[in-house]
Amino acid sequence: MSLERRQFPRLQLSEDAIAVDANGRELGKVVLAGGGGMQITGGSAAVAASVKVGDQIRVTIMEPKAQTSNTIDVIVRHVAGPVLGVEFVTGEPSN
């Protein structure tokens, strides 16, 4: 029996949403999002490797088709190759 621990459901994104860090490095495409965080995948494994679990970073989500962008602070909760799992936070990033 599987126990779902998530407070918010995950939603699969159908539109392109690209995540970049504060230095403009592309982290990858946002593929899943929920009320508590998001999953970013498909970026460079080298860039993902430069991010450590527990890091607080500022990420800008760019939506080219909608010509919009949003900047948010997140904490890295999971890193597996080019896949990042991040949690939304408030406040200033620590790095």
The predicted model scores a pTM of 0.78
- 60 neighbors 20 (Cβ within 8 angstroms): yes
Q: How high is the mean pLDDT of the chain? A: 84
Question: Where in the sequence is the domain holding 38, given as residue range(s)?
Answer: 11-89
- 86 neighbors 74 (Cβ within 8 angstroms): yes
Query: Is residue 57 domain-resident?
Result: yes
Question: Which tokens in the block code for residue 32?
Answer: 């899943």
Q: Tens of pLDDT along 7-39?
A: 666 667 767 899 999 999 999 999 998 888 999
Categorize the per-residue pLDDT at 1 as very low, low, confident or very high, splitting at 50, 70 and 90: very low
What single DSSP character describes residue 46? H
Among 26-30, 49-53, 72-76, 91-95, which stretch is predicted with the lowest mean pLDDT? 91-95
pLDDT at 82 over 70: yes
Mean pLDDT over 56-68 rounds to: 90
Residue 18 — φ and ψ, nearest 5°? -105, 130
- Number of domains the chain contains: 1
CATH number for the domain spanning 22: value is 2.40.10.220
Query: Is residue 81 domain-resident?
Result: yes
Query: Is residue 2 domain-resident?
Result: no
